[in-house]
Amino acid sequence: MSRNRKKKGKKTNILLGFICILLVGLLGFLLAMNYKTEQEESQRLTELAGDQHIGIEDYDAVKEHAAELEKASKDEEESSETDNIDKKSKKNNQKEDTAEADDTENAEETADEETARTISGVVCWGDDLINGDASNTYSYMAVLQKLLTDNGYNLTVVNKTLQAGGTLSMMKMAGVSDETLQGYITKHQQAANGAQLNVTETGIRDLTEEETTRNDMDCIPVIFMGYYGGWNHDPAELAEQQEQILNTFQYKDDFIVVGTIPLDGSVTADALDQVLSQKWGEHYISLASVTAQPSATYEAQQAMGEAVFNKLQELGYITKD
């Protein structure tokens, strides 16, 4: 019994010793593995630290490079803006130079036109209220010619009036188209609605070649028309017909219009003046405001001649040589 226990105890010790050896070996193995792992980790950390340092250096280099690029970009933008400003300034200067050149050219052209423009005289269109030899002495045209000559103006008064003629015939003499004239005739007939019309409202006089020949295109026109009718008793139409004749002139912005009540008294002086003065403004002379005498009298013709002369001076149309 005692021998068996010893035998068992011996086996147990041997087993325990063996186990201890295994444990020591395992512990040594674990220690070796741990050391190796620590060495590898240490090496990894060292490499990582080195990589981080390199990364930091690279990052600083990148930042520095980015700053250089940003500065270069700003310099380029500033240079571009400067170039744009220079270009705009140059372009504006070119525009100003062009505008100045245009203004100078326009001024020169205007000056040339004014220099080239020559006025050969004053032409009277419309009604001749005094027929025969008396017209040569007492008409407003004769009065105007005397005033021009006596005051040192070397200008001729051209007579383009039509004795006892209506405004339709006057427009025909000026060269207004037949289509336009027919339009007025049709309008007058429609307004009459079958009633008898004065011959001047629909009829156009047969004109000679001398009467239709224009030798007054460079003259200052004085339009005195409407006394014998042809405008349907409508001052607005009379103004339109006066404009038809004015439009045939070379310098149609320089003119004088004289208004007198018609022979048949169909329109009052006030009604006529209201429309014509509004239409022609400073170019208009109302015969009613100049004289109370009938238009065909010598006194009225004298007053009208003086009024036309004064208006020519007032508007600056005439100059002395």
DSSP class per residue in 181-198: HHHHHHHHHHHHTT----
Nearest by Cα to 242 from 228, 254, 231: 231
Q: Could you give the angle at the alpha carbon of 276 between the alpha carbons of 270 and 277, nearest 5°?
A: 80
Q: Which stretches of the chain are assigned E, i.e. beta strand?
A: 121-126, 156-161, 220-224, 256-259, 284-286
Give me the pLDDT at residue 63, please: 55
Q: What is the CA radius of gyration of the chain?
A: 57
Please give the structure tokens belonging to residue 51. Answer: 């990589």
Provide CB contacts within 8 A for 148, sequence distance 6+: 122, 155, 157, 309, 318
Give me the pLDDT at residue 193, please: 94
pLDDT < 50 stretches in the chain: 1, 45, 48-49, 51-59, 62, 110-116
d(CA 94, CA 85) in angstroms, rounded, equals 14
Give me the pLDDT at residue 31, please: 65
Collapsing DSSP states into helix, strand and coil, what is residue 125?
Answer: strand
d(CA 273, CA 287) in angstroms, rounded, equals 9
d(CA 40, CA 66) in angstroms, rounded, equals 38
Please give the structure tokens belonging to residue 105. Answer: 């050219």
Give me the pLDDT at residue 92, please: 58
